Structure 1
Amino acid sequence: MIEPPKDLRRKEKLAAFDRLLTIMDELRLNCPWDKKQTLESIRHLTIEETYELSDAILNQNLDEVKKEIGDLMLHMVFYSRIADEQGAFDVADALNAICDKLVNRHPHIYGDVEANDEEAVKANWEKIKLKEKGNQSVLGGVPQSLPALVKAVRIQDKARGVGFDWEKKEQVWEKVEEEMQEFKEEFNAEEGEIDKERATLEFGDLLFSLVNYARFIDIDPEEALERTNIKFIKRFRFLEEESKKDGKDIGEMTLAEMDEYWEKAKQLK
């Protein structure tokens, strides 16, 4: 086993965590707002904080990343404090549970199993997870409430973990082209009504195959789409601001006029 490097700031880190626990206890006892909160009432705030952390990461703003990590740490301590009050568990139970899980799922570090690459580690992880949870399906651990794009990635990762996957990225791209051609032939007709239900299913197949290809070339499709969203917002705001400076109302401009500003926006970094 490889010994971890000595952490010279370990005492400071433990003291900081102890300080957070103390403040949480004081707030829960004395603050009218904190006293009212429940697991359910904090839930939506945690989701919001998670997305704020995601934004900070995408923007490569480490100061904001630090802030958002702190916010999420507070939420984890808050949940644990509430659960402790209910006699369910406390923060030590939660932390020991994740430590036990990490040790159990890394037998190549804490046991005698060999795993010399990332794929072997993932495969072991999924097999151990199945035994732990008693899931009847490899896909049983994928949360139903995940956004569809993220869920597609998780589904494909889990299937790959047990060997159900394409062998080469070229095969995946062939599938993308096949799905695209099918969709084009069926739903790009100039005449006649489109069967929306069938078109929706086929478009889903196309998206799923694109997510699969992104995974093969190590691109996070959620991050890729969000970067495009941010880029579009930036360019559209430029269009709004610059046209307003020129005394134009965006709602009354022609598409050709808007395209002029859009082309200028594309030249910005």
Structure 2
Amino acid sequence: MNRWRYIEDDKQDGGWNMAVDEALLRTCERDASFVPTLRLYGWKRPTLSIGYSQPVEAEIDLERCREKKVDWVRRPTGGRALLHMEELTYSMVGPVTHPLFSGGLKATFSVISQALLQGLVELNIGDAHINREKQYGTTRQERSPACFASLNHCEITVRERKLIGSAQRRTQQAFLQHGSVLIATDHDLFHSLLIYRDGVAVNESLAKLKASTTTLNEIAGSAVAFEAVRDAFHMGMTAHFDGAWTTAGLTAAERDLAEHLLERSRTIAGTVG
């Protein structure tokens, strides 16, 4: 029987969120007994996460981040900038040799996307779809510093608008996939934190982002509580991944590693709170 671990977190600081995800990935890399782990969490303060190799100075207005009291952190995964505010973030970490995740990056995206759909079913959202190919914002000319400005393979849409964006990192032994389920967002604030070539590019990108993105609040027509979203995705995703689930926190070694990674990141992170 498959064994799984579930870690339930409340809203945390951005630096800690990313340190924990990376600590889980590193632990999985070196521990053959690592149990595939689902973690659900939120964000205490507005925080801009930057893709692993995204150029900060060229694409992020750090002075504007300070003015608006928006933290920024570097993600252990790729992709482009994302403003985390009212959302549920999921992360899944496991060995690449696991039968469900051994088919490579796209196959793993697909498996996890199916589980995400089950979370939406628990929220009574039944018209969600898995995108099967890149559809917009993918050419060099269209490229935006904003993650939700593009629709990539196996991301989740509702009524043809992106609701869940994800990113994955794979090593020889392990993978980490995490992503954002938007409850609410502030596109205007987000775009004010990004650097564009000119004003026309800003306006076009902002209009496209608003037209191609949706949130749970918008779909429901009212405010949806973070705890309700977390509970729904817990139920849906754990039901989808059949096996024995154990709810547990970080091990002592994982917590120590996360604290070490957090301390290291403070030399480059933009915590303003």
In which range does the TM-score fall when normalised by the shorter chain?
Answer: under 0.3
Q: Between Structure 1 and Structure 2, whose CA radius of gyration is higher?
A: 1
Whichever structure has more strand as a proportion of its residues is 2
Higher relative contact order (CA 8 A, sep 6+): 2
Whichever structure has more helix as a proportion of its residues is 1
